[in-house]
Amino acid sequence: MRATKAIEAAADRHDRYRLLVEAIVDYAIYMLDPQGNIASWNPGAQRFKGYTTDEIIGQHFSRFYTAEDRATDLPTRALHIAATEGRFEQEGWRVRKDGSLMWAHVLIDPIRSEDGQLVGYAKITRDLSERKATQEALRQSEQRFRLLVQGVQDYAIYMLDPQGKVSSWNRGAQRFKGYNDEEIIGEHFSRFYTDEDRATDLPTRALQTAAREGRFEAEGWRVRKDGTWFWAHVVIDAIRGDHNELVGFAKITRDVTERRNVQLELEATRARFIQSQKMEAIGQLTGGVAHDFNNLLAVVLGNLSLVRKRLPNDPKLRQLIENSIQAAERGATLTKRMLAFARRQELTRGPVDVPQLVRGMAELLQRSISSNIPVSTQFPLQLPLAFVDASQLELALLNLTVNARDAMPDGGSITISAREERVDTSEVAGLSAGSYVCLSVTDTGEGMDEQTLARATEPFFTTKGVGKGTGLGLSMIHGFAGQSGGRLVLKSTLGQGTTAELWLPVADAGLLCREGETPHPDLPTLNPMTVLVVDDDPLVLMNTSAMLEDLGHQVLEATSAQQALRILRRSAKTIDLVITDQVMPGMTGVQLIEAIRAAHAELPVILASGYAELPDDRITALTRLGKPFEQVDLARALVTSVRPEAKIAPFQPR
């Protein structure tokens, strides 16, 4: 009875195991005999492999292996390993009935009898094709991402561990920073920062910000392997794991040095443009004020000249008149400087030997400064002639020398030199392409800081004490240089002196004066004439008329160009000459002259103006009289206009 119950119990357990194996469909569970032939087959095996029980029982399990694995006798080796080592486990490709492949996890265990004899093998196979495909897709994605990151050369993309040490390095990082993988992996990223940034612990603060806020972004200087600097745009992102733990940082750096340089240049250009607009506005205002002041000075000087001729023999009264004339002439000099800044002064340009001009002024220059400040000159053996107004150049050079003296209260030295320069297109801002004579005055004085240097040529700006300067010296030179077709360039460093450079265009060789052409200073006499004077300022009109009448001429007056044309239509045959102002409402002096020449081509006309901005290409053979003028200047202009063959000294503006 007991034996029977034991047999029944064993049979029952066998049935339960069989039912269990038969119920499993996610694993192929089957038996092999000692030779590797299939002895059992469960539904999971049929689902994975595609064979039914009748098709596969008794077949060798090697048919599930690929041809490559069979060629290496892998099935036999697998059974041998299981028999000798107690277990064989592997993942690899297996072949289904339809010839398709699946990625399988295989486990082979030996089955032995109670006496240790090998009676077969238990084989469990699981289809991992889907997991394999996912892993392969992930691997390929990671590979593509790695290739992408490595292929980027315009950005440095690399990883940092939580402590800030470099754990990956792409080609862009190598190109920007100069380190290869072996040199930088494992090193702390702070080595890319400047000493100043490391002193403020910026690298640590950057990582702390990224860890706390998830991101750190900034721009600043970074250091390459060779020690050079570049301006970088930096982004640091925190990388966290599945449980929000910090696993490292992703760091992206871009070299934006070129962009920064372009931006800085754009800002500098914008600043220069704004400064240019401001100076233009100041120039317009200054020119207008100087024009009105010139008219007043013309009246004062003219009337004083007439009064001086009629003075009684009273030395005290004559001295007062002379002092008044000198004061008015000083005012004329001031307006001349204002017009020079506004680029509206009258210039008489011609070829000038710069070294000869400087040598001729040597005594005057030395007298103008302290005897303990030596003035030296340095000129090349050959230097082309400059095309410039000689008297204005002398005044500019004197101003620059006095400025140099004032910059050296404790003494020093001044060097005046010149050189020839060739300028290509846009090579020097403000200069056209061509040849120039660069005249420079260099001192060893206090120098100027950047703010002072930027404002040095502004009118009325001065660093001298109250009453020690008008602030028009450099602005006058600036305007004079620009009107001459050149430029004033100031170079200065605080504590290291200043160099002022006057760039002047080279004169055409054909402009050289021939010997013997010096005008004769004597004034030929003129017969009395009838002169039409046109000026919208009644004071100037009255003064000019008074000087003409004192010279013996008859005067007709007009306060506008339109009135002058009406007078000419009535009395053209009796009028010998016209003197007209330039700036008048309704019609300018140049427009009036054009109208006169259209109707009375032979009638001489004199244009009286303090401006230089006149359309010379429209009016030829024109006698010009600069304001303010004295009676002698007016007389010379009359002679030049009526008798152009007479050689007289030309009018020199004050």
Identify the H or E element spanning 265: helix 257-309
Q: What b-and-e string marks burial along 148-179, b requiring 16 or more CB atoms within 10 Å of the CB? A: ebeebeebbbbbbbeebbbebbbbbbbebbeb
pLDDT at 201: 92
pTM > 0.85: yes or no: no
pLDDT at 419: 92
Distance CA(475)–CA(344), nearest Å, equals: 13
Per-residue pLDDT for 101 more than 80?
yes
pLDDT at 272: 65
3-class secondary structure per residue, 456-488: CCCCCCCCCCCCCCCCCHHHHHHHHHHHCCCEE
pLDDT at 332: 65
Per-residue pLDDT for 562 more than 80?
yes
CATH topology of domain 152-255: Beta-Lactamase (3.30.450)
Per-residue pLDDT for 651 more than 60?
no
pLDDT at 653: 38
Residue type, 552: G
Contact 329, 301 (CB under 8 A): yes
pLDDT at 264: 82
Distance CA(53)–CA(471), nearest Å, equals: 113
Mean per-residue pLDDT over the chain, rounded = 79
Distance CA(451)–CA(437), nearest Å, equals: 28
Per-residue pLDDT for 650 more than 50?
no
Mean pLDDT computed over 127-149: 66
The strand ranges marked E within 401-558 are 414-423, 434-443, 487-492, 498-505, 530-534, 554-558
Distance CA(75)–CA(65), nearest Å, equals: 7
Contact 599, 628 (CB under 8 A): no
Q: What pLDDT digit, counting tens, does each position of 498-527 carry?
A: 898 888 999 875 554 443 344 444 455 678
Q: What pLDDT digit, counting tens, does each position of 7-19 carry?
A: 555 445 545 545 5
Distance CA(82)–CA(110), nearest Å, equals: 6
Per-residue pLDDT for 141 more than 50?
yes
By CB neighbour count within 10 A (0-12 exposed, 13-18 middle, 19+ buried), where does 93 fall?
Answer: middle
Per-residue pLDDT for 622 more than 80?
no
Per-residue pLDDT for 583 more than 90?
no
Per-residue pLDDT for 348 more than 70?
no
Mean pLDDT computed over 128-138: 72
Q: What pLDDT digit, counting tens, does each position of 459-480 carry?
A: 555 555 444 444 455 777 777 7
Query: φ, ψ for residue 372 (rounded to 5)?
Result: -90, 10
CATH topology of domain 2-128: Beta-Lactamase (3.30.450)
DSSP label at 188? B
Mean pLDDT computed over 544-548: 87
Mean pLDDT computed over 29-45: 89
pLDDT at 49: 86
Contact 249, 160 (CB under 8 A): yes
Distance CA(331)–CA(410), nearest Å, equals: 32
Q: What pLDDT digit, counting tens, does each position of 223-232 carry?
A: 998 989 989 8
Q: Read off the tokens for 136.
A: 């392969």
Mean pLDDT computed over 103-122: 89
Write down the domain spans for the chain. Answer: 2-128, 152-255, 350-511, 530-642
Mean pLDDT computed over 160-169: 89
pLDDT at 652: 41
3-state secondary structure of 9: helix
Contact 429, 490 (CB under 8 A): no
Q: Read off the tokens for 581.
A: 């102002």
Q: What pLDDT digit, counting tens, does each position of 329-344 carry?
A: 666 666 665 555 444 5
Identify the H or E element spanning 388: strand 386-388
For residue 592, what are the contacts with CB-CB under 8 A and spacing of at least 6?
534, 561, 564, 565, 580, 584
Per-residue pLDDT for 317 more than 80?
no
Residue type, 469: G
| Superfamily the domain 530-642 falls into | Response regulator (3.40.50.2300)
Q: What pLDDT digit, counting tens, does each position of 362-395 carry?
A: 777 777 776 778 888 899 988 999 998 877 788 7
pLDDT at 417: 92
CATH class in words for 350-511: alpha beta
Per-residue pLDDT for 286 more than 50?
yes
Are the folds of 2-128 and 152-255 the same?
Answer: yes
Distance CA(239)–CA(211), nearest Å, equals: 8
Residue 203: band (very low, low, confident or very high) from pLDDT cuts 50, 70, 90: very high
For residue 589, what are the contacts with CB-CB under 8 A and spacing of at least 6?
534, 561, 580, 581, 582, 583, 607, 608, 609
